[in-house]
């Protein structure tokens, strides 16, 4: 009977007034907004996903979360003052604390905003108001009186702000006021560096609350949680890992939450306009791109930032110091995609630069867009694995953090496809979709028709009420090295298509005009940042993997679309599909997103023809001493040299806290200076990174014989205690 009454109460929830949300969408950012946007997203309005893999995933996630029983989600809160409550425990971490509840409010609010589905809004309103009945008189918001964590508070703030902005629920602000009163009085403000309580993510949603309400308390409270030590290192392009010497308990970076903290820096810039915040996120992105990102767009093996030159080692297992582990996963997939989506979107909005969209695109296809569906028990594909010896997709981890971020992340697809300014519509992603844009002279609707990336053609159909002059700017992906073919109404256009920039079409558009884009998605090799091998095989933004064929009745490998027999693959300076090679296996190359649960796959491939040059093949001049498997020197002017044959060479060794700077020349040509210093104190859990590897590579050399020479300069960067240079070997590649 109690359950029936609760269900009846749920059905009778009054619809919230949506007028406030509509007004907010027009004025967008209210109070103290200082950091202007060069371009804007459509803020979850006027964009529709059309039938596609991503639309199906979005619909599946929406339906899954709508099937969850409200009593189960509310049970922990209702037991705060009772011995019994209807429903059952979901299990996992959610049975211990409400770490995902605020994210579910946010997810429902955003899903409602993009679909207009009143049932989704009503579910969110019911959950919010029933939870609000359990808020303590002191404002405590968890399962127990006085209970509250930084992480949980942040998610509640985000959920309530979304309920106000996207679902139009004014009472959400009253609940936000109550829980913030408790948080102001009780949350620990010691703000210890790198400690993964995630205190350093709180500013983002508090600044959002400030911009939407104009209430100074939220601006003041957001400032309490600014992660200035970390952001300032990034803003000044300092040594991120050396800063860990100030970490008292956790000398390592939790990857997802530190990327997520950059969204707090972004909102600090939005609210206050100080350049240092923008510098932090721009340089933070560069740090990630240059040192942390896999070809998928993923990051954070074992949820950690990886020390310089350490990414290749994570693909085979960490075997140094106290670490003797195979990496279980390389990317916390849903949460990491959510953090990447947000940061890249902020960067695009603030700078107007197109190249940040490439990260979004990779995550759409190879990150959250490649996840398995959750099962009814609540298991999720928590992480993605990229090991060179093979991996599988699987479900694990019942009702934890990723179950909270997933509905937000897939709803975000709608917010990432198109942007606009006063004069132009920007096309960022190539997904089947439609957008409506209100212009001063009338409505514009653009319908994107494509099977990309399975097909290389994208069509944009322009629908206008009348002839309308505006710009259409199309992101030219960084991977499109030969540009993009552009035609309007089947007439080829002479348009500059520079990779990483916007291709601009400005004209008076008529109803029915069609823009056709043609991409080259020929397979190509992409090594890890700065390395030669191993490499991922890419077709456009899509990571290809080797797996057993299953597309034909006789299980022969396919050779169509984005599918090739694996035996055709040749991995050299680049990759190519050689159809003259015989078939020896039933393995094929296909997109990572097309791998099902339990299927074995290979993602990274070693470049063929590597020739190892041992130290016995290296000539040394000056004072060099043997230390373990390496040679080492601090003598200014000491050098080593070696001859090799090929188009690429890698110098290998170790980084030390007394590492110095060396000059590198190949065939007498200056190849710059190389620094072997690294902070050698990064260590947490299974990930002992105190022995820091070193790899330096030169690529794209002319075929033939070359000589590399490395000379000790006798100086170092300010963080180093010495000037030592070492070498453990060299590798040459044809």
**Residue 16 confidence (pLDDT):** 46
| 297 phi, psi to nearest 5 deg | 95, -5
What's the pLDDT tens digit per position in 625-660?
A: 999 999 999 999 999 999 999 999 999 999 999 999
Dihedral sign for Cα atoms in the order 649, 652, 657, 661 = negative
- Same domain as 634, residue 698: yes
DSSP 643: E
- Alpha carbon 478 to its chain centroid, in Å, reads 17
Residue 196 lies in a domain: yes
Tell me the average pLDDT across 521-534. Answer: 94
Q: Which residues pair with 414 in a beta bridge?
A: none
Give the confidence band of 28 by pLDDT, cuts at 50, 70, 90.
very low
CATH number of the domain to which 368 belongs: 1.50.10.20
- Same domain as 23, residue 153: yes
Give the confidence band of 20 by pLDDT, cuts at 50, 70, 90.
very low
Closest CA to 307 of 573, 689, 565: 689
**Residue 694 pLDDT greater than 90, yes or no:** yes
**Structure-model confidence comparison of residues 317 and 484, the more confident one:** 484
**Residue 425 confidence (pLDDT):** 98
- 156 sits in which H/E element: helix 150-167
Residue 57 lies in a domain: no
Question: Which residue, of 566, 587, 605, is where some domain finishes?
Answer: 605
Tell me the average pLDDT across 511-537. Answer: 96
What's the pLDDT tens digit per position in 112-145?
A: 999 999 999 999 999 999 999 999 999 999 999 9
What's the pLDDT tens digit per position in 260-314?
A: 999 999 999 999 999 999 999 999 999 999 999 999 999 999 999 999 999 999 9
What's the pLDDT tens digit per position in 218-241?
A: 999 999 999 999 999 999 999 999
Question: Which residue, of 387, 411, 435, is where some domain finishes?
Answer: 411
Residue 393 lies in a domain: no
**Residue 9 confidence (pLDDT):** 38
**Residue 18 confidence (pLDDT):** 53
- Same domain as 645, residue 564: no
- Same domain as 91, residue 139: yes
- Same domain as 90, residue 130: yes
Helix (H, G, I), strand (E, B) or coil at 593: helix
What's the pLDDT tens digit per position in 381-435?
A: 999 999 999 999 999 999 999 999 999 999 999 999 999 999 999 999 999 999 9
**Residue 3 pLDDT greater than 60, yes or no:** no
- Same domain as 597, residue 674: no
**Residue 552 confidence (pLDDT):** 62
**Residue 25 pLDDT greater than 60, yes or no:** no
Calpha distance 414→49 (Å, rounded): 7
Q: Which of 497-511, 529-543, 679-693 has the lowest mean pLDDT?
A: 679-693
Residue 35 lies in a domain: no
What's the pLDDT tens digit per position in 318-335?
A: 766 666 667 899 999 999
Give the confidence band of 17 by pLDDT, cuts at 50, 70, 90.
low
Question: Given the structure tokens 């070997």, which residue do they identify?
Answer: 729
Question: Which residue, of 157, 187, 217, is where some domain finishes?
Answer: 187
Residue 383 lies in a domain: no
Residue 46 lies in a domain: no
DSSP string, 499-550: TTSEEEEEEEE-TT-EEEEE-----EEEESTT-SSSEEEEETTEEEEEEE--
- Same domain as 207, residue 349: yes
Calpha distance 442→177 (Å, rounded): 41
Residue 18 lies in a domain: yes
Residue 390 lies in a domain: no
- Same domain as 545, residue 467: no
- Same domain as 335, residue 322: yes
What's the pLDDT tens digit per position in 141-183?
A: 999 998 889 999 999 999 999 999 999 999 999 999 999 999 9
Buried b (16+ CB within 10 A) or exposed e, 391-425: bebebebbbbbbbbbbbbbbbbbbbbbbbbeeebb
Q: Is-contact 351 39, C-beta < 8 A?
A: no
**What percent of the chain is predicted at pLDDT more than 90?**
87
CA neighbours closer than 13 Å in the CB half-sphere of residue 9: 13
Calpha distance 673→661 (Å, rounded): 7
In sequence order, the 6+-apart residues with CB closer than 8 A to the CB of 166 are: 21, 44, 109, 110, 112, 113
- Same domain as 79, residue 9: yes
CATH number of the domain to which 509 belongs: 2.60.40
- Same domain as 305, residue 444: no
Give the confidence band of 582 by pLDDT, cuts at 50, 70, 90.
confident
Tell me the average pLDDT across 93-111. Answer: 97
**Residue 588 pLDDT greater than 90, yes or no:** yes
**Residue 24 pLDDT greater than 80, yes or no:** no
CATH number of the domain to which 693 belongs: 2.60.120.260
| Structural domain range at position 109 | 1-30+68-187
Tell me the average pLDDT across 67-84. Answer: 97
Question: Given the structure tokens 């339906």, which residue do they identify?
Answer: 63
- Same domain as 365, residue 473: no
- Alpha carbon 487 to its chain centroid, in Å, reads 32
Domain count, the chain: 5
Tell me the average pLDDT across 478-486. Answer: 97
């Amino acid at each position: 009977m109690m359950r029936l009454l609760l269900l009846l109460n749920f059905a009778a929830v009054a619809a919230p007034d949506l007028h406030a949300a509509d007004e907010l969408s027009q004025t967008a950012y209210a109070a103290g907004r200082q950091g202007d946007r060069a371009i804007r997203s459509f803020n979850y309005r006027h964009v529709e996903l059309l039938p596609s893999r991503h639309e199906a995933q979005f619909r599946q996630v929406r339906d899954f979360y709508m099937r969850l029983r409200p009593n189960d989600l509310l049970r922990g809160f209702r037991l705060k003052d009772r011995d019994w409550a209807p429903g059952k425990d979901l299990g996992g971490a959610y049975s211990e604390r409400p770490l995902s509840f605020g994210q579910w409010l946010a997810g429902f609010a955003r899903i409602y905003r993009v679909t207009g589905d009143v049932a989704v809004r009503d579910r969110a309103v019911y959950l919010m108001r029933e939870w609000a009945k359990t808020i303590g008189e002191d404002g405590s918001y968890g399962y127990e009186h006085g209970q509250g964590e930084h992480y949980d508070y942040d998610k509640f703030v985000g959920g309530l702000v979304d309920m106000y902005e996207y679902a139009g629920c004014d009472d959400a602000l009253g609940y936000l006021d109550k829980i913030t009163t408790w948080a102001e009085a009780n949350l620990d403000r010691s703000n210890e560096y790198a400690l993964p309580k995630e205190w350093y993510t709180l500013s983002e949603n508090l600044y959002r609350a400030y911009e939407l309400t104009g209430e100074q308390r939220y601006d003041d409270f957001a400032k309490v949680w600014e992660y200035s030590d970390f952001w300032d290192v990034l803003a000044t392009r300092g040594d991120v890992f050396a800063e860990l010497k100030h970490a008292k308990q956790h000398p390592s970076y939790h990857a997802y939450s530190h990327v997520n903290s950059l969204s707090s820096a972004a909102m600090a810039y939005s609210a206050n306009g100080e350049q240092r915040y923008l510098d932090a996120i721009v340089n933070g992105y560069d740090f990630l791109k240059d040192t942390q990102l896999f070809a998928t767009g993923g990051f954070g093996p074992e949820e950690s930032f990886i020390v310089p030159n350490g990414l290749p080692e994570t693909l085979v297992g960490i075997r140094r110091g106290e670490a003797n582990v195979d990496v279980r996963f390389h990317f916390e997939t849903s949460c990491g995609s959510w953090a990447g989506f947000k940061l890249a979107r902020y960067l695009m909005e603030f700078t107007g630069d197109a190249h940040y969209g490439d990260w979004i695109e990779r995550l759409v296809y190879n990150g959250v867009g490649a996840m398995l569906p959750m099962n009814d028990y609540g298991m999720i594909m928590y992480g993605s694995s990229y090991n060179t010896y093979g991996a599988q997709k699987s479900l694990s981890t019942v009702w934890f953090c990723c179950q909270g971020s997933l509905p937000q992340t897939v709803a975000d697809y709608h917010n990432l496809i198109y942007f606009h300014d006063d004069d132009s519509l920007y096309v960022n992603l190539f997904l089947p979709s439609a957008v409506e844009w209100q212009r001063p002279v009338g409505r514009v609707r653009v319908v994107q028709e494509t099977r990309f990336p399975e097909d290389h053609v994208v069509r944009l159909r322009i629908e206008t009420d009348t002839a309308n002059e505006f710009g259409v700017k199309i992101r030219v992906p960084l991977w499109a090295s030969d540009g993009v073919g552009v035609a309007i109404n089947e007439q080829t256009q002479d348009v500059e298509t520079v990779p990483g920039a916007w291709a601009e079409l400005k004209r008076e558009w008529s109803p029915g005009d069609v823009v056709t884009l043609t991409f080259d998605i020929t397979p190509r090799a992409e090594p890890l940042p700065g390395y030669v091998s191993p490499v991922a095989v890419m077709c456009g933004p899509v990571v290809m993997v080797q797996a057993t064929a299953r597309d034909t009745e006789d299980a022969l490998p396919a050779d169509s679309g984005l599918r090739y027999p694996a035996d055709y693959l040749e991995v050299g300076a680049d990759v190519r599909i050689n159809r003259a090679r015989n078939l020896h296996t039933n393995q094929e190359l296909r997109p990572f997103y097309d791998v099902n649960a339990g299927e074995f796959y290979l993602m990274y491939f070693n470049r063929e023809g590597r020739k190892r040059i041992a130290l016995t093949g290296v000539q040394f001049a000056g004072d060099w001493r043997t230390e373990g498997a390496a040679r080492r020197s601090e003598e200014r002017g000491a050098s080593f040299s070696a001859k090799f044959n090929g188009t690429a060479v890698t110098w290998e060794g170790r980084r030390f806290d007394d590492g110095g700077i060396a000059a590198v020349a190949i065939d007498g040509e200056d190849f710059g200076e190389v620094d072997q210093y690294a902070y050698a104190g990064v260590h947490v859990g299974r990930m002992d990174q105190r022995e820091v590897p070193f790899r330096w590579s030169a690529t794209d050399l002319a075929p033939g014989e070359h000589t590399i020479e490395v000379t000790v300069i006798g100086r170092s960067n300010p963080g180093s205690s010495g000037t030592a240079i070492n070498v453990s070997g060299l590798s040459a590649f044809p």
